[in-house]
A and B are shown apart, each in its own frame.
Chain A
Amino acid sequence: MRIGILANSLPAARHIYDEAKPAAGSDLFVLLCPTHGRSPAPDLVRHFARLILKTGRWKSLRMMAAGKIVRLAKPLDDSETVAQLAAMRFDIGLHKSGNIYREATIECFRLGILNAHIGLLPKYRGRSVMEWSLLQGDPVGISVFFVDEGIDTGQRIVMSETVDVSHCKSISEAKEYLFGLDGQFYRAAIERLQAEETTYQENDGSGRRYYVMSRLFQGVAEKCLAARRSTS
Chain B
Amino acid sequence: MNKELISQAVAHRFEEVCARGSQLEPDRFGEMGEFVSAARNTLLNFRAADRESSGSPAVGEYWLDADGDCLDSLRTFSLGEVLPTWPGPHPPVEGFLQDLKHTVRHRAPLFKLLIERYAYAPNFSFGPEDDVREFVLMRLMVADRARIEDASIANVDSNDLLLKLNLVAIHAAATTDLRFLDALNYYYELLPATWYPDVENGWLVTSYLALYARALMFWS
Q: Which residue numbers of A lie inside 8 Å of B, CB to CB?
A: 135-137, 208-217, 219-220, 223-224, 227
| Contact-residue size bin, chain B (C-beta under 8 Å from the other chain) | 20 to 34
Binding site for A on B (CB under 8 A): 1-2, 5-6, 9-10, 13, 134, 137-138, 141-142, 145, 177-179, 182-183, 185-186, 188-189
Query: In the complex the two chains form, is B189's CB within 8 Å of A135's CB?
Result: no
Query: Which residues from B are CB-within-8-Å of A210?
Result: 179
- Supposing A220-B5, A223-B5, A227-B2 touch, asked if A213 and B182 sit within 8 A by C-beta, the answer is yes
In this complex, what residue of A is CB-closest to B10? A216
Query: Is there contact, CB below 8 Å, between B178 and A135?
Result: yes
Q: Which residues of B contact A211 (CB under 8 A)?
A: 137-138, 141-142, 179, 182-183, 186
Q: How far is the CA of A140 from the CA of B173 in the complex (A)?
A: 27
Identify the closest chain B residue to A134 (Cβ): B2
Q: Which residues on the B side are within 8 Å of A219 (C-beta)?
A: 9
Cβ contacts under 8 Å, A214 to chain B: 182, 185-186, 188-189
Enumerate chain A residues within 8 angstroms of B6, measured Cβ to Cβ.
Answer: 135, 217, 220
Show 12 A/B contacts (Cβ-Cβ < 8 Å), sorted by A: A135-B178, A136-B2, A208-B177, A208-B179, A210-B179, A211-B141, A212-B145, A213-B186, A214-B185, A217-B182, A219-B9, A224-B2
Contact of A212 with B141 in the complex, beta carbons under 8 Å = yes
Q: Judge whether B9 and A137 touch: CB under 8 Å.
A: no
A-B CB proximity, top 10 nearest:
A214-B185, A211-B141, A214-B186, A216-B185, A220-B9, A220-B5, A224-B2, A223-B5, A214-B182, A137-B1
Closest to B142 in A: A211
B5 touches A209 (CB 8 A): no
